[in-house]
Amino acid sequence: MKFRTKSIHVGNQRDPQTGAVVPPIHVASTFVQPGAGEWGEFDYSRSGNPTRKNFETTIAALEGGSGALAFASGMAATHCATMLFSTGDHIVAGTDIYGGTYRLLHKISNRSGIETTLAAANDLDALEKAITPNTKMLWIESPGNPLMSITDIKACAAIAKKHGILLGVDSTFATPVLTRPLELGADIVMHSATKYLGGHSDSLGGALVVKDQELFDRLYFIQNATGAVMAPLDSFLASRGLKTLAIRVKEQSKTAMYLAEKLAADSRITRVLYPGLSTHPGHDIAKQQMDSGFGAMLSFEVAGGFEKAKKMAESTKFFQLAVSLGAVESLIEQPASMSHASYDREDRLAHGIQDELIRISVGLEDAEDLWADLDQALSQ
């Protein structure tokens, strides 16, 4: 069964009782049991819920995993993964990880005595050097935010394997349509389902997908014990989102490529960061590990500095000024004043985040309408 067919049918079996083509939404917090001490498949919704299970089954199939767990948000999913570790353990993470993950690792996990070292994930030597005897996990993100840096997942998997540690990949930007990290040797795939999986900017969610049953059991234990599960209504919306995931992501990637080429050829733009462009430093790896497109996130630098970029971000009509990404509506933001404003300017610059950098999340609107919108905003 191919990807699109799986996204519609796996995990969405017809309801055996009523024949409903779309499985019912089970809002129950608890489930009546067959007898005292006899347990049915579901007992209590924190431990498992049929609607959540449907979404988990579908996303596991799409990622090529054996099991998935759905969470209340992407951060809840990442947090669950970090809870695998104990005092004294160590995590190596890419420098381009999502800011919320950075915050979790440096301000929360450290309280439990779990230390994190950041290393440039596109510099495999640096990454490997950061590994110590206490390191338990390598955590990477590809494409990375906001520079769309590409990390070689297969190579990272080889490093993780060599050192006997887990490889976790935040695959939010790539989605299983473009990249399936488990097939490349990763142990855990994480998604902010808030983004492309749900795809309509209308719910928060997260997911962890794994191949290994023992790892799944450990994560499930943590999820059940800590309780940050995805709600039934959101699970339904997430499942509904998965049914159009492939067509959305392919179309959005196609439009992003079109816009990247337009921007690259425009004199008002000094630099475009999109892995689909041959000028992007990660292009060759992206070509290998991304199928049918390079994603729908792209960044670019506007000639004229901070004010010019700010003005541009405020002047678009279809690109709405908001953080987040991955939905049908196109969004625009200026990392220096929005997503990365909490960093010191020096730190930002050290990370390559210039004041004039603009990040866009390309939605489903017509490519030409979106270009016309960027074009007029750049002239403001």
Ligand X SMILES: Cc1ncc(COP(=O)(O)O)c(C=O)c1O
Give the footprint of ligand X on this chain (CB under 6 A): 73-75, 98, 100, 141, 145, 170, 172-173, 192, 194, 204, 206
- Rounded to whole angstroms, how far apart are CA atoms 147 and 166? 25
Q: How far is the CB of 169 from ligand X (least distance, A)?
A: 10
Min separation Cβ 229 and another protein, Å: 22
Q: Among the options 180, 195, 211, 348, which is catalytic?
A: 195
- Of 104 and 332, the one with the shorter C-beta distance to another protein is 332
Site string for another protein, 263-302 (x = CB under 8 A): ----------------------------------------
- 20-53 b/e (C-beta count within 10 Å ≥ 16 → b): eeebebbeeeebeeeeeeeeeebeebebbbbbbb
Q: Which of 212, 261, 291, 365 binds another protein (CB under 8 A)?
A: 365
The answer to whether 344 is a known catalytic residue is no
Is the CA virtual torsion 273, 279, 282, 283 positive or negative? Answer: positive
> Binding to another protein by residue 240, rule CB under 8 A?
yes
Strand arrangement of the beta sheet that strand 206-210 belongs to:
67-71, 206-210, 188-192, 166-170, 135-141, 90-94, 115-119
> Is 44 labeled as catalytic in the residue annotation?
no
Judged by CB under 8 A, the residue of 247, 341, 349, 350 near another protein is 247
100 binds, among ligand X, another protein, none (CB under 5 to 8 A by kind): ligand X
Cβ–Cβ < 8 Å for 323, 333: yes
Strands 297-302 and 115-119, sheet pairing:
unpaired
Instruction: Tell me whether residue 284 is one of the annotated catalytic residues.
Output: no
Element (H, E) at 240: helix 232-242
Q: How far apart are CA 337 and CA 294, in angstroms?
A: 26
Enumerate the β-bridge partners of residue 209.
68, 189
Query: What gap in Å lies between CA 88 and CA 209, rounded to an integer?
Result: 26
Backbone region of residue 90 per phi and psi (left: phi > 0; alpha: psi in -120 to 50; beta: other values): beta
Out of another protein, ligand X, none, which partner does residue 172 contact, by CB within 5 to 8 A per kind? ligand X
Question: Which of 64/304 has CB closer to another protein?
Answer: 64
Q: Which residues contact another protein (rule: CB under 8 A)?
A: 1-5, 8-9, 12, 14, 19, 21-22, 200-202, 237, 240, 243-244, 247-248, 251, 317-318, 320, 322, 324, 327-329, 331, 363-370
Q: What positions carry a catalytic annotation?
A: 46, 98, 170, 195
